[in-house]
Chain A
Amino acid sequence: MQIEKAIVRIHERVAGDYRELVLDAPATAGAARPGQFVHLRVPRLDGSVLRRPFSIYRARDARLSILYKSVGRGTRAMESIAVGDTVDMIGPLGNGFPLEGIGENPALVAGGYGVAPLSFLAGEVDVRGTVFIGGATARDILCVGDFESLGWTVRITTEDGSLGAKGLVTAALDVWMAEQQGASPVHYACGPDGMLRAVGERAVAAGHTAWLSLDKHMGCGVGACLACVQKIRGEDGSVSWKRVCKDGPVFDASVIEWDA
């Protein structure tokens, strides 16, 4: 990890309220692995003391990019970032997705901008599998072309039925899981907590491994402040807080202790 002053090269709308920020960041891009994140200091966000964490979407040729959606004060302020601006960034942070045991025919499960680190993953592995992308409407479905051009099968779901199958991403996942008799595909997921929990519970029930990337409000991003903690079950069965920024953000679904 390091602090890098990254120069903005491209900042554009990719769909709906989603934007991609492409930065010249050779040091961070060179070290980045899928599932890791960067902690950005949002320029011109007056009165702000906290950085904002973003999963790494792409990291190649000394450039790094992130996908974001305007949802709060920080991300709204990011819309004003201009090409040529300098962005202060700490990264790469976190542990990323374990890829050693990816096996055959993995499932990637994405909700909204949670698709970003999974697109990065899809391009970094030799195997191909199925990608489940879910969103509220067609405008929340991103990166389909990324996966298709790499040879991954894409299954889209939207809650309003405006694109792909109508329903939640887990409905499509259920159909697919029923087809995987005898196999134990590995799942990789990133999205809202509710989706992650549903994916994790299905995978654990089926005896599959699922790696979930948690999205939490963070303070320091490096494991010092203990704000972004999640209850995790240890090997001895005891439950303790783990730091999403430092010990995660990716955890094995079978050890996450969700709130009741």
Chain B
Amino acid sequence: MSDQPDMSVDIAGIRMKNPVMVASGTFGYGPEYADLVDITCLGAIVVKGICLDPWEGNDVPRMVEVRGGLINAIGLQGPGVDSFVETYMPFLRQFDTPVIVNIWGRDKDEYEEVAARFNDVEGIAGLELNISCPNVKEGGIAFGTDITMASDLISRVRKRTSLPLIPKLAPNVPQVGLFAKAAEDAGADAVSLINTLPAMVIDIETRRPILANRVGGLSGPAIHPVAVKQVWEAAQAVSIPVIGMGGIETADDALEFIIAGAAAVAVGTATFTDPATAVRVIDGIGAYLQRHDLAGVGELVGSIRE
């Protein structure tokens, strides 16, 4: 087939020119990587987690490399809604690349308030609801690992936002499909997964945890097979789009997610290793579709064979 395959996807009304986004927390707020990555090539940008007010995050050390990945405990340091909108949205509006804002709160009221604040902000394509960060005591994963709390939070935020709402699910639950279904039933327009896996490294000489927060979240190629399994389960449980992420380094890694049922994917930690990863993955997916005579990426989504 000589025609270029159709790479575009529509995720809950968010039109993306290809299915490859950059994951929250790994691409800053956009300008940080602008010299190294052509932002117009990306399917979407998911910016680092935002809560209501400036948040200083955790003490240092905040990151440690392990075999096949890294563990981070940044603790969602961020500028807060107003400062984010003022400082970064003028930059982000320059591109035709959809901007998805990852939001979180220390309690349900704050989640609702943050979501509501973005209703009137020009240039926001959607909200990713972070209910799975392992690095904050308040909010975060406490919501993502309790299905009743997750469901209640999503339905409350749903009532306060007109934007596409994408809860980001925790991987460390027994049946992620139940969480995905609960999110759909509570009004989510899509779900994204996986967040990092709770993890820890100990310095055997000092016998102390290396991270100041003691524990953090594991990301990188080591978690890719775990993520594929969770995405596969979630995709079977829901009819809304699933965004797959976790350890993508190559187009092949991304294609596994798509075949497992992901309508879009996100590149995270690999951007640190090679800022060109997302663009490489986009090109590789296109080449795969051509090689397999597929007219568009949609034909591949959930095409896993038993």
Residues of A within 8 A of B (CB): 1-3, 41, 47-51, 88, 90, 216-217, 219-230, 240-241, 246
Contact size class for B?
A: 20 to 34
For B95, what are the chain A residues with a Cβ–Cβ distance below 8 Å? Answer: none
Judge if B68 is at the interface, Cβ distance under 8 Å: yes
Interface of B: prevailing SS: loop
For B57, what are the chain A residues with a Cβ–Cβ distance below 8 Å? Answer: 226, 229, 241
List the 5 closest pairs (A to B, CB-CB), nearest first.
A224-B28, A227-B63, A224-B32, A47-B67, A223-B32
In the assembled complex, the Cα of A228 lies from the Cα of B60 at a distance in Å of 8
Given A49-B69, A219-B70 in contact, is the A2-B61 Cβ separation under 8 Å? no
In the assembled complex, the Cα of A87 lies from the Cα of B273 at a distance in Å of 13
In the assembled complex, the Cα of A241 lies from the Cα of B269 at a distance in Å of 22
In the assembled complex, the Cα of A82 lies from the Cα of B103 at a distance in Å of 46
Residues of B within 8 A of A (CB): 25-28, 32-33, 35-36, 48, 56-57, 60-65, 67-70, 72, 74, 77, 220-221, 269-276
14 contacts between A and B (CB under 8 A): A50-B65, A50-B273, A216-B60, A220-B32, A220-B271, A222-B28, A222-B275, A223-B28, A224-B32, A225-B26, A225-B72, A225-B272, A229-B77, A230-B60
B162 smallest CB distance to A (angstroms):
29
Given A225-B72, A226-B62 in contact, is the A246-B32 Cβ separation under 8 Å? yes
For A223, what are the chain B residues with a Cβ–Cβ distance below 8 Å? Answer: 28, 32
Which residue of chain A is the closest to B64 with respect to CB atoms? A217
In the assembled complex, the Cα of A240 lies from the Cα of B78 at a distance in Å of 11
Query: 20 new A-B pairs (CB below 8 Å) besides A49-B220, A220-B26?
Result: A41-B274, A47-B68, A49-B273, A50-B65, A50-B70, A50-B272, A50-B273, A88-B274, A219-B272, A220-B271, A222-B35, A224-B32, A224-B33, A225-B25, A225-B272, A226-B48, A226-B57, A227-B72, A229-B77, A241-B77
In the assembled complex, the Cα of A196 lies from the Cα of B26 at a distance in Å of 30
**B274 to A217, Cβ gap below 8 A?**
no
**A1 to B36, Cβ gap below 8 A?**
yes
For B63, what are the chain A residues with a Cβ–Cβ distance below 8 Å? Answer: 217, 219, 225, 227
